[in-house]
Amino acid sequence: MNYIDMPPDATALMESTRAMGYSLETAVADIIDNSIAAEATRVEIFYSAVEKYVAILDDGYGMNSHDINRAMKYGGNSPLDARCEKDLGRFGLGMKTASLSQCEILTVVSKQGEKISARRWDLNMIRKTNKWTLLELSEEEIFDVPCVNMLKNLSSGTLVVWQDLDRMFQGSENIKLILPDKMNNVVNHLALVFHRYLAGESGLKKCSIAVNNLPVEPSDPFLKDKSMQIMDEEKIEIPGYPPIKIVPYMLPYPSKLSVTDKKILGITEDLQKNQGFYVYRNKRLIVWGKWFRLTKKETLSQLARIQIDIPPAFDKEWVLDVKKSTAVPPEIVRKKLEGIVEELTGKSWRTYSFRGKRETDKKFPHMWNRLKTRDGGITYEINESHPIFLRLIEKFPACEENFKNLLKLISASLPINQLMIDFHGSDEIKNSTLYSEEEARKILKVFLEGLSKAEVLKLLNSLAKDDIFKHHSQLLEEFKLRGVD
């Protein structure tokens, strides 16, 4: 048997790995993984639309000449190698593939003590020579690297700089508008995936992140200060591995979420899309908003979120990809998750169904009736027996038929499809607050006029639990005390 050494073609491999599907935000996050593994306490990201670069600087322990060569090597570490407990990498490809997915020139400068080392991959040179030619920068060349002076002021650290941002702009000339918008997405992404590091979770070394000197605030996807941990922490024990930790949460009902709450949650779309599992590897969020086909994403389960912490040693079994953006639980874990999912989604469903029943409870007057049709469908009609409508007929009996026809027309025109779209969104529907106190006062004066005190009290008591007038309880009490002027 003959053995043939077949090193990969430099140009072909580099160009192929550029197309692995990194977005700008996932690429930046991949670089920060290295910073956290280097025990950095601060990461600073700088970008310039004028000079067309993105730079990521950390104050970690840095690299010497040997370490930086290894870090720049494709496949410098095997995914089969044992990893440091704090290591967020796996394949030995992340920094290179992430960086060159966005740019054509990758420069890494690192400092330990007084010694500074710098290496560069230049795709234009690789294309010309088709050789794995890693450039070692001289002191003069290091001086020209953007933001390098900030690194020199640190006792140790690493600076990663992307230049010739070809993939980021795809030939667009409007870079000054595009780059800030893209970096805003980066901020939102980092706030979510590193929220436990940004918050300084107990037992975890805190690491701050800033983008052009503006701090990134953590986005807690569980809103732990207001959410309910409905089950105790569970552990899945698998022989030969550290335990997998699982904590289920139930978010507050959407109407209880303030604008600040939604910002903390990191909601960029809707609650329904963000429900599901949140999988962390070494406290770093890698996958979120998925049920792994254990259940469907539905409105009634949109409050359910489950935190899963997997140990790095379990990467292979979770089929973790290079970008650390996908993971699939092994069958032994899926089976143990089924019961947790069923219980959690059931509680979310009951939260919504309870409110739905309250809105149609026949013990209270409602403006709308929910009716079942003979063919098994559902209709919503304005309630002709509502106290306000009955009082309207009393005052204008000759208009009763016209009033009823108008109510049927309004009922038939209910914008069901748009209501569904809005309900699935993260914004609260606030129809119940459309009537201001002054508007409620005017309508009450009109409808209470001419009634005896006993009739006034009867009508006001019936309105006390009405969907609209319950927001003006003080006004109802005011009319009970003084009557109608």
- Arithmetic mean of pLDDT over the chain: 82
Structure token pair of residue 384: 């002709």
pTM passes above 0.75 = no
Furthest-apart CA atoms within the chain: distance in Å: 108
How far from chain centre, in Å, is Cα 67? Answer: 35
Q: What would the mean pLDDT of 14-20 be, rounded to a whole number? A: 86
Which of 91-100, 181-190, 395-404 is least confident?
91-100
What pLDDT score was predicted for residue 199? 94
d(CA 143, CA 14): 27
Give pLDDT tens digits for 36-81. Answer: 999 999 999 999 988 989 999 999 999 999 999 999 998 755 444 4
Q: What would the mean pLDDT of 431-439 be, rounded to a whole number? A: 70
**Which amino acid does the sequence have at 451?**
L
Which contacts qualify for 478-484: CB closer than 8 Å, 24 or more apart? Answer: 479/444, 479/448, 480/456, 483/448, 483/453, 483/456, 484/444, 484/445, 484/448, 484/449, 484/451, 484/456
Give pLDDT tens digits for 442-470. Answer: 877 777 777 778 877 887 777 776 666 76
What pLDDT score was predicted for residue 80? 43
187 has pLDDT over 70: yes
Give pLDDT tens digits for 90-118. Answer: 434 678 999 999 999 999 999 998 899 99
Domains of the chain are 10-215 (3.30.565.10), 234-358 (3.30.230), 368-482 (no CATH)
What pLDDT score was predicted for residue 120? 97
What pLDDT score was predicted for residue 424? 54
Query: Over the Cα atoms of the chain, what is R_g?
Result: 30
DSSP letter at 320 equals -
What pLDDT score was predicted for residue 77? 54
304 has pLDDT over 60: yes
Structure token pair of residue 354: 């309870």
Structure token pair of residue 318: 């979770």
d(CA 467, CA 445): 19
> Angle 473-482/453-463 helices, nearest 10 degrees?
170
What pLDDT score was predicted for residue 81? 45
Q: Which is more confidently placed, 403 or 15?
A: 15
171 has pLDDT over 90: no
Give pLDDT tens digits for 229-273. Answer: 767 888 888 888 888 899 988 888 777 777 788 777 765 556 778
Cβ-count burial of 373 within 10 angstroms (0-12 exposed, 13-18 middle, 19+ buried)? Answer: exposed
